[in-house]
Structures are given as structure tokens and as C-alpha cells.
Chains A and B, each alone.
Chain A
């Protein structure tokens, strides 16, 4: 990670220079230090991660708008305005995470408030959705409580007949003050909170946090620990792809798919539980390494599982690929063309299914991936079928990686002591979760967490879903949505 400060007039030009060099925005956040606010951006560049800071003069509350350069920066700027009180000049100034349950001038990440303030008498307010006018246009409002077992959010569809003209998302319903909560936890305990940013990506977020902490503390993780972290991350990827592939088949009317994939997933999670003590491997990644070592019989069991899952999924893929009814729903649904995907700055499997070869395990490989030669899965069509295809390919690649890790797992310690420095320290973590790149920016001061920003790839991909669903029919929305499967909790924090 390379951290550097810039002046206000260079904020936008730095962003443009990153784009010209083929880089992209990873995250945008603000941090209040010693009575002045520092606005931060993390960029992915060919040389690695670049953390750019714009210190604002004391009392300043405006920052140049980056949403013209990076489409998805708009919502992160709105979150920044709600949490820290710094607004982007000329950007969308609607509240985003603040739904009216706390006052507009209450900025929870300010060090001057404790975060424990209660504004109990306040009710949530209406949201000024963008209205589509025209003959025959009507709105369908969905959520925050959805019809299935899903996280809460609101979708406002403007439709003509069954065709979606526009979708506008309203998120923030599960904002529970995670970033403020980080500052109340000891640095050596906070990996548990990171592991609960989004339960389906618990390994990735916990690793992101630990990577940031280890950088800030100068701790060197033993090789065996890195490899075991990789093992857990790939197991998490397989579990999620199994779950989503079943759900995708089900959403297109093939309950058979859900039955078989969910059966495989259940066995997979039981092995995770027996190996790492938890069905999702929560709290398996800890500062300095991993909580549990894996012994030879468990490694052997994991390898056997891989062979069995591969065999079954190959058969299921053949069924899905040759099912005309299913393919009719998958092909061309929710299409995100490569040009649009590039303009929107999408990440993770959504980007790879729209022709963009971005995978940190390949292009920014860290231990153990630098010695594993991950084969990236990509597709060019950008539709539901492409995202299904990428998921299948990634699942098989993860099975291969798990087998290789089990075989080549280095000997030695699986945890090292992490010593928290007394002064100011910075660290960044950057991990390719099953959904896309997870990022964590950590600032320590006096042995405590001054600021911890956790970023889920859902921030990049939620706005793209609004585009992918345009001109599709309303009944295809659940299918398209599932093919993205974005996190609400990871976004709302």
C-alpha cells in the first residue's frame, strides 16, 4: 500500500490520471483526525494499491465531486456526508444511510460524539425517488421487507406494462453503526466485527481487516497461516457459488437445482464446521494468523469432498446447460454489456462476466495466491447466463485450489503475535472475496482504532444492477438480482 496526500485542486486530476493509466477506484471514505477531516480514496493501479488523502482545512465541509469520473462514487460520497458531514460539491445531496432516525447534523463518525446517543422519538422519513413521467408509466414499490428470506432494501420500479423503464434502489436499512463500533473495540478483537460485516463473506472481510492490522503493526504472518486463510477463502467461495447456483436454477423454475446444490452446500458447511469450528468459518481468521490448524485427516477429507463435489457439479452443469426452459430465462436476461460495465466500474464476478479480467488473486496476487497461479474465469455476454457460467468456472477452479493447498500446505506455525504500536499507524487490506474485492483501511492511534473503513464490493455493483434490469420484465428481476447477489449489510454497515 502506498499512502500519499494531495491538495484540493489535484483531487479530481489524480482520479482522472488513475483512469487514464487503466486503474480504478476501490473505495472512498473520510476520516476525522485532530479536528480536521481527511477525505480518502483507494485506487487500484498496476503498481498495487494507492491510498490518496485530501486533508481539508478545519471547518471545511465540501470536497470536489468524483462521481463524474467514477459513477459509483456518488453513493459513497453521500454516505460520507451522512457519517462525517463532508459533502461533494454539486453531487447528489439526498441523504443515503440516514433515513431520518437521527438528526441531519448528527455525524456518527465524528470523534465528538460517542455513537451511543439515542434519538428514540424520531421516525424514518420518505425518500425523494426520481419519478418517471409518461403515459402508462406506473410505479411498483418493493421492500424493505421482501417476500423471501432476504436482507431488507427498497426497490422502486417504474414500469410500462411488464417492462422496467427504471429501477431506483434505496439502501441503508441495515445500517447498524459498524464503523463507529470499530472505534470502540480493541484492535486485537475487532476482526470479529469485520467478520460480521457480511456473513456470507466473513472470511474475506476478517482477512481484509487482519491484513490491514498486520501491515499497521509490521507483523509477518507465517506461511502456513496464509495458506490456511487461502483455504478458508476458497471454501467460502465454493459455499456461496453452490448456494447461488441452486437459487438461480430455482428462480428460473427448476427446483431440482436448488435441492441438489443446497444438499451439496450443507455437506460442504459441515466439513467447514468440523475443520475450522464454524459452518461459515467465522472467527477463523485472527490477527497474526488463523485460529485453528488443520490436521492431515481433515485435509484428506477436504480433498475427498472436492472430488465428490466436482463430480456432482459437472453432472448438474450438464443438466442446466442443456435445459431449454432454464437457458431461455438465463440468456440475455439482465445484460450488462462490457462498455457499460467499464463505465460503471463494476468489480468481482459481475465484472468478469462482462468481459473485464479483474481478479486480485491473479493481478495483485498476495500470499498464498502468488504461488498458486489462479486461472481467472471470464465471459463476454454480461447476462445472467454469463454470470452463471463464471460461477461454475470459479467453483471448479476453487476446488482445484483447495486440493493444491491441501497438498502443498507449508509446515510451521499458524499464528504469530501482533504487537499494537503506541503511535499513529496505517494499514490496508485488500482481498478477492467470492463477490469481488473487499477492502479495509485501518488507522491506529494510542493503541486503539481511530478509524476503520470496511468496503464491500456491493458498493460498486449495486448501481450496475439498476442498469442491468432496464428493459427486462419485472418477473425477471429476482433472477437478475440473484445473479448479482449483492450484500445489503456489507453496503449499509
Chain B
């Protein structure tokens, strides 16, 4: 326990201490703006509908202490029924088409959908085929997209902010 406490004390709050890093002022600004817009928690349900898992790694990174998503009232939830926003990655595989539609149906209105990554935007390198439906909007309505292979965490954050702004 002593070691854990020392480690926590020595490390400090990295979310505030990273001014030196190029991306950080931007991260902080986005986080503040989100809180002003929403005034409450934004709940996100993430669905991998066929990605290579690269996008998932960057979405995970949003939860690290440097981006500190949860510290600003945005959290990932375990059920679509608890979600305001669906974050969908991948070209939608034919084998995931039905599961994605069902997940979308389970999200209560009003709901938002953000397609993350080049594959979610336009099918990416996998395209459309016997096994791939291509872009997410071929399967469910999409409100916004964020390109990149994979997009960096800060770009995903910006896209979430853009969406939240639009529904204000």
C-alpha cells in the first residue's frame, strides 16, 4: 500500500502536467468545452463491427490519464441501453451486420452514431465484398465520421465534441 501511495504522489496528475506535450493544451480545451456543452455525462457504447482492432486501441487510449475522458464526464458503458452515442469501427462485416443493427435498435432515442476510422468512413482497404458491407452508413444511420487509420485519440475526441456541439 505504501508503495502504491508513493507512486501516486510521485506521478501527480499527468492530465494537468503535460503542457509541454504538443497535443495537451488542445486536449484540455476540448475536455472543458465538452463539459460546458453537455453539463452531464455522455455515455458511449463502442461496437467493433469488423475492424482490425487498431481503432479499438486508440479508443482505449482515450481512457488513459493523459486524455482522461472519464474525468470529464464521458464514459464508455457496457450496454447499448445505457448509451447516448454509438461509436462504431470497422468495415461492417456481413457476419456483424445483424448484431450492429440490433445494437443500434437497443440505444434509446435521441441517439448519435459516430463512425471511427477509415474503414468505418468508406470501407477502407477492405472495401465492399461478399464478406464486407463497407462503410458503417451502409448499415445504420451515421451522424458523423472521423477518418484516420486509426485516427489518433485527440482526433476521436474532437469528433465527439463536434457531434455534441451539433445537438446542443
- A residues bordering B, Cβ < 8 Å? 99, 101-102, 106, 108, 113, 115-119, 123-124, 144-145, 147-152, 172-178, 180-181, 192-193, 196-200, 202, 243, 256, 259-260, 262-263, 265-266, 269-270, 279-280, 282, 315-316, 318-319, 322, 487-489, 492
CB distance from B98 to the nearest CB of A (A): 5
Given contacts A175-B131, A262-B60, 20 further A-B contacts (CB under 8 A): A113-B130, A116-B129, A145-B47, A147-B78, A173-B95, A174-B48, A176-B50, A176-B131, A178-B126, A180-B129, A180-B131, A181-B126, A181-B129, A196-B125, A260-B11, A262-B64, A266-B61, A266-B64, A282-B54, A489-B50
Q: Which residue of A180, A243, A263 is within 8 Å of B14 (Cβ)?
A: A263
Question: Contact between A99 and B95 (Cβ–Cβ < 8 Å)?
Answer: yes
Contacts of B129 in A (CB 8 A): 108, 115-116, 176-177, 180-181
Distance from A490 Cβ to chain B, minimum over Cβ atoms (Å): 8
- Cβ < 8 Å to A, chain B residues 68-100: 76, 78-80, 90-91, 93-99
Tell me if A198 and B52 are in contact (CB < 8 A).
yes
Chain B 23-53 residues near chain A, CB threshold 8 A: 46-53
Known: A176-B126, A198-B53, A319-B3. A282 touches B149 (CB 8 A): yes
Q: Which of A119, A180, A489 contacts B53 (CB 8 A)?
A: A489
Q: A176-B131, A262-B65 are in contact. Are A270 and B21 (CB under 8 A)?
A: yes
Q: How far is the CA of A151 from the CA of B96 in the complex (A)?
A: 11
Identify whether the interface residues of A are mostly helix, strand, loop, or mixed. Answer: loop
In the assembled complex, the CB of A197 is this many whole angstroms from the nearest CB of chain B, namely 7
Q: B153 — nearest CB in chain A belongs to which residue?
A: A266
Say whether A177 contacts B130, CB under 8 Å: yes
What is the size category of the interface that chain B forms with chain A? 35 or more
B58 touches A279 (CB 8 A): yes
CA A270 to CA B150, docked complex, whole Å: 14
Nearest B residue to A108, CB-CB: B130
Q: In the complex the two chains form, what is the Cα distance from A124 to B99 in whole Å? A: 10
Chain A, residue nearest B14 (CB): A263
Residues A117 and B53 in contact, CB atoms below 8 Å apart = no
Is B158 an interface residue, CB under 8 A from the partner?
A: no
Contact across chains for B53 and A151 when beta carbons are under 8 A apart: yes
Enumerate chain A residues within 8 angstroms of B61, measured Cβ to Cβ.
262, 265-266, 269
User: Is B126 in contact with A177, judged by CB distance below 8 angstroms?
Assistant: yes
Q: Within the complex, what minimum Cβ distance (angstroms) separates A301 from chain B?
A: 14
Q: Does B66 contact A (CB under 8 A)?
A: yes
Q: A residues within 8 A CB of B11? A: 260, 263
Neighbouring A residues of B149 by C-beta, 8 Å: 196, 282
Residue B146 interfacial (CB < 8 Å) = no
B63 near A262: Cβ-Cβ < 8 Å: yes
Contacts of A113 in B (CB 8 A): 130
B137 on the interface (CB 8 Å rule)?
Answer: no
Report how far A270 CA is from B63 CA in the complex, Å.
16
Kindly identify, within residues 122 to 155 of chain B, every residue whose CB is under 8 Å from any CB belonging to chain A: 124-132, 149-150, 152
- Among B52, B59, B60, B95, point to the contact of A243 (Cβ < 8 A): B60
List residues of chain A with CB within 8 A of the CB of B99. 144-145, 152, 173
Q: A144-B99, A149-B56, A280-B54 are in contact. Are A199 and B126 (CB under 8 A)?
A: no
User: Can you list 25 residue pairs at the A/B interface with Cβ under 8 Å?
Assistant: A101-B131, A102-B130, A108-B129, A144-B96, A144-B99, A145-B99, A150-B48, A151-B48, A152-B48, A152-B96, A173-B93, A174-B50, A174-B51, A174-B96, A177-B129, A196-B52, A196-B149, A199-B150, A200-B53, A243-B57, A256-B7, A259-B65, A262-B63, A282-B149, A489-B50
